[in-house]
Amino acid sequence: KQASDIGAAENIMSGRNAATLGVTLVLWQDAENTTHAQKMIERLFRFFDENPKVPEALIVSEDGDVTRNGLRVAGTPGLQNAQVVPTVFESMTGLLVSRSERVDRYIRPYATSETEDNQNKNTDLGKLWDFYWNRDDAFMEQYENEQSAKG
């Protein structure tokens, strides 16, 4: 079974709203179902080399018996239906890797010094947050209408 094409993206997107990052653009790049991170780290730095305007990348890692059970090869034995001590405890990590010279050039000039209050529509952050959710709702409505039209 291959790594889910949406696993990492789903983890990032579900966690971003809890961190008030709803208006942050996150693009999914790659996923790998592996027990060793070396190739993914090498790919990350190759990605930075190939994309000189990307200021930072978020690596999400998830592991554990339940996670591995969901990613196991079809037909292989799964977890027992019993109370057992896990052999690999569930864990998750989000690692933000940034290129400081790119952050200084592409992000820092746009940083605000407002207090964090995404509900206050008088601040830029509040306006952006409101715009994001209006667009998100509009997209979902359009998508649902298109799916209904298909039957």
Query: Does 34 have pLDDT greater than 60?
Result: yes
What element of type H or E holds 94?
A: strand 91-98
| Range with top average pLDDT, 3-7, 84-88, 103-107 | 103-107
- Predicted pLDDT of residue 30: 78
Task: Please report where in the chains the tokens 């959710």 appear, as a residue.
Answer: 133
**Please, is 58 exposed, middle or buried when counting C-beta atoms within 10 Å of its C-beta (0-12, 13-18, 19+)?**
buried
Mean pLDDT of 96-108: 93
Model confidence over 109-122: pLDDT tens digits? Answer: 988 777 777 788 88
> How far apart are alpha carbons 7 and 30 in whole angstroms?
10
- Predicted pLDDT of residue 7: 63
> How far apart are alpha carbons 51 and 26 in whole angstroms?
15
Neighbours of 37 (CB within 10 A): 14
> How far apart are alpha carbons 9 and 2 in whole angstroms?
15
Beta bridge partners of 61: 93
> How far apart are alpha carbons 26 and 12 in whole angstroms?
8
> How far apart are alpha carbons 137 and 77 in whole angstroms?
41
Beta bridge partners of 58: 96
> How far apart are alpha carbons 6 and 63 in whole angstroms?
16
Mean pLDDT of 73-80: 85
- Predicted pLDDT of residue 113: 78
Mean pLDDT of 141-148: 88
123 versus 136: which is more confidently predicted?
123
Mean pLDDT of 42-46: 92
Query: Does 1 have pLDDT greater than 60?
Result: no
Confidence of residue 54 (pLDDT cuts 50, 70, 90): very high
- Predicted pLDDT of residue 8: 65
> Model-level pTM?
0.61
- DSSP annotation of 97: E
> How far apart are alpha carbons 13 and 15 in whole angstroms?
5
